[in-house]
Amino acid sequence: MPTHSDLGPRTQGGTLQSSEVPGISTAGPTFVTSSTPGNKTVDLFPVLPICVCDLTPSACDINCCCDSDCYLLHPRTVFSFCLPGSVRSASWVCVDNSLIFRSNSPFPSRVFMDSNGIKQFCVHVNNSRLNYLQKLQKVNATNFQALATEFGGESFTSTSQTQSPSSFYRAGDPILTYFPKWSVISLLRQPAGVGAGGLCAKSNPAGFLESKSTTCARFFKNLADSCTSDPALNAASYYNFTVLKVPRGMSDLQNMELQVPVTPVSQAGSPVLAGNTCQNVVAQVIYEIETNGTFGIQKVSVSFGQTNLTVEPGTSLQQDFIIHFRAFQQSTAASLTGSRSGNPGYIVGKPLLVLTGDMRHSMTLLQSQGDGTCSIKRHEVQFGVNAISGCKLRLKRVDCSHLQQELYQALHGSPRPEHIAIFGNADPAQKGEWTQILSRNYSVSAMHCTSCCVIPVSLEIQILWAYIGLQSNPQAHVSGARFLYQLQSIQDSQPKTEVPLKTVVTFVDITQKPEPPRGQPRMDWKYPFDFFFPFKMAFSRGEGSQKGSIFPIIILCLLLLGVLNHRD
């Protein structure tokens, strides 16, 4: 057992560094297991008889503190840490140091400083169970099977009966397919590239609800023969089967209600060898699979990308296989609602939702082409992301009113947003979940002329938003929005061919944070009920006794004055 001086280096104030006893708690006794480093003269943990990290014979294994090949008396001074199992474990029992007046423990003790700067009184307990293992059980022919059954798990060669197929797919399960022509059950395959050359491995199964894409390569020694005979090049081989809605469909293959046909989106031709070219070769396969929870797969469609290959030695083909999963939509109206931008609060980076009439869409900004002119495409406004964009709009020779209409439409997009969604899951049918977008114009150039046309040249979209709800789970909502148009006057006698336009979106956080919670109550100092007992005894005695007791009374008064000053 180590002595009191063997518990490691001291820090200033007579305490060890808090990192040497991690996990010290300030509430009640705490049992802590640590490996405290030794000092320069005595190692707290001697070399273990079995060194589990000594893996390299006749060489020092890094951070293996029990490796005798390292020839280190104090490995902790050289290594950054000791690997688990290379030092003996130590058990410490700790309580608040203020609770200890005197220690009569026969075990070594030490005062540590925890991470909060509170002193902890810890006792090093001799717990032999930390460093010794259970005795090895004897195994013989009598108890072998009993031990294997009690402690064993699943076996690769299970002797149990085959379980019935599951009633629904789980995420990652292989998708079952059925070939009616040959009465064969198989799996939906998604070929993937293997090896350095990325050769196609057709046995790779597709996982349920796992949307992903793979790419692989095929090489042909004789493309003229493979063009019409290789099923990997023929689009028909990717939809000449049905998909089982749920796994239990394999137990009733005659029930067509449990099967879904694979429908091609467009007609894809079969490979044809025309002269020195193999036409209609499959280069891309895209499966769109719609699911409905535990009801399984409801719809499967496939589309193809085809190409032509030149017949020559060593011809190669790169194929892409993409599988998308999405929720099954019962009607077209449901599919028009689009995805949410939060539920309920907005998520930063999601589209900012607006409403025009009963149509929901996203707010957009100007987008320029390569030559700087305005493009038909527009940038989508993302919630919480300030943005600015600009372009040059080429004008036609039209009157002022048509010119104004064209510029307004270019700035705010078509159709013009009328309302903005308060939350990211706003329903177009619920008008209370939308707020009207305010509008304001201001002019930067005033020209006093009779033949002037005032046109908008800039739009600033101002969004006021705030967090509401619990501080532990705040929800972002839009409080208001405003379109601020900047106007400019131009003379009709000098028509412009191009007008530079600019759109800006700014998000302003107006969250009113509540007052912080009050701190912990101050300590209420109370004196013992018999604190003034010495004063009473002193004055209850005679006059002669009072003279002899005047000195201790003065001492008590000074102590009382010091306590009061410390409290202030």
Dist CA 322 CA 326 (whole Å): 13
List Cα–Cα distances, 397 to 284, 376, 455, 458, 502, in angstroms: 47, 20, 14, 21, 22
Q: What is the pTM of this model?
A: 0.40
15 pLDDT higher than 60: no
What pLDDT digit, counting tens, does each position of 138-185 carry?
888 888 888 888 877 766 655 445 567 888 999 999 999 999 888 899
Rounded to 5°, angle at Cα 211 from 206 and 213: 80
Dist CA 260 CA 262 (whole Å): 7
Task: Give me the percent of the chain exceeding a pLDDT of 90.
Answer: 34
288 pLDDT higher than 70: yes
The pLDDT, as a whole number, for residue 186 is 93
What pLDDT digit, counting tens, does each position of 487-528 carry?
888 876 666 678 899 999 999 999 988 776 666 666 666 666
3-state secondary structure at position 279: strand
The pLDDT, as a whole number, for residue 131 is 59
Dist CA 32 CA 20 (whole Å): 11
What pLDDT digit, counting tens, does each position of 37-59 carry?
333 333 444 556 678 888 888 89
Averaged pLDDT, 185-189 = 93
The pLDDT, as a whole number, for residue 47 is 52
Residue 36 confidence class, pLDDT cut points 50, 70, 90: very low
DSSP 65-93: TT-GGG--S-GGGTSSS--TTSS--EEEE
Task: Give me the percent of the chain exceeding a pLDDT of 70.
Answer: 76
The pLDDT, as a whole number, for residue 496 is 66
87 pLDDT higher than 70: yes
Point out which residues pair with 421 in neighbouring strands: 434
Q: At 323, which helix (H) or strand (E)?
A: strand 315-327
Total number of residues shown for the chain = 568
DSSP 233-253: G-GGGGTSSEEESSGGGGG-T
Work out the number of other CB atoms within 10 angstroms of the CB of residue 427.
Answer: 13
Phi, psi of 9 (to 5 degrees): -70, 145
Residue 34's identity, in one-letter code, is S
What pLDDT digit, counting tens, does each position of 311-367 carry?
888 889 999 999 999 988 754 444 445 688 998 899 999 999 999 988 899 999 999
Of 188, 194, 294, nearest to 240 by C-alpha is: 188
The pLDDT, as a whole number, for residue 6 is 38
Of 246, 242, 245, 257, nearest to 165 by C-alpha is: 246
**What burial class does residue 361 get, using C-beta atoms within 10 Å of its C-beta: 0-12 exposed, 13-18 middle, 19+ buried?**
middle
214 pLDDT higher than 80: yes
For residue 363, give every residue at least 6 positions away whose Cβ sits within 8 Å of its Cβ, in sequence order, or none.
351, 352, 353, 354, 380, 381, 413, 417, 420, 461, 505
Dist CA 127 CA 90 (whole Å): 8
End-to-end CA distance of the chain: give it in Å, rounded.
47
Which has more confidence, 35 or 542? Answer: 542
Q: Tokens at residue 39, please? A: 């000092």
**What burial class does residue 97 get, using C-beta atoms within 10 Å of its C-beta: 0-12 exposed, 13-18 middle, 19+ buried?**
middle
Inter-residue contact 89 to 106 (CB < 8 Å): no
Which has more confidence, 289 or 529? Answer: 289
542 pLDDT higher than 80: no
Dist CA 138 CA 130 (whole Å): 23
The pLDDT, as a whole number, for residue 236 is 93
Dist CA 214 CA 11 (whole Å): 59
The pLDDT, as a whole number, for residue 443 is 67
Averaged pLDDT, 400-419 = 88
Q: Tokens at residue 325, please? A: 């999963």
The pLDDT, as a whole number, for residue 298 is 94
The pLDDT, as a whole number, for residue 34 is 41
3-state secondary structure at position 174: strand
3-state secondary structure at position 155: coil
Strands 192-194 and 199-201: antiparallel
Among 22-26, 70-74, 239-243, the minimum mean pLDDT is found in 22-26
What pLDDT digit, counting tens, does each position of 462-476 carry?
999 999 988 788 999
Inter-residue contact 456 to 416 (CB < 8 Å): no
Which has more confidence, 92 or 539? Answer: 92
Q: What's the chain's Rg over C-alpha atoms? A: 40
Question: What integer best gives the mean pLDDT of the chain?
Answer: 80
Please give the distance of CA 333 from its chain centroid, rounded to a whole number: 32
The pLDDT, as a whole number, for residue 371 is 81
Instruction: State the DSSP code for 235.
Output: G
For residue 331, give every residue at least 6 positions away whose Cβ sits within 8 Å of its Cβ, in sequence order, or none.
none
Q: Tokens at residue 432, please? A: 């209370």
Of 311, 315, 240, 314, nearest to 270 by C-alpha is: 240
Work out the number of other CB atoms within 10 angstroms of the CB of residue 95.
Answer: 18
Tell me how many helices (H) and strands (E) the chain has: 6, 26
What pLDDT digit, counting tens, does each position of 199-208 carry?
999 889 999 9
Strands 277-291 and 379-380: unpaired
For residue 533, give every residue at least 6 positions away whose Cβ sits within 8 Å of its Cβ, in sequence order, or none.
none
What pLDDT digit, counting tens, does each position of 375-407 carry?
888 999 999 999 999 999 887 666 788 888 889
Which has more confidence, 284 or 101? Answer: 284
Phi, psi of 28 (to 5 degrees): 75, 175
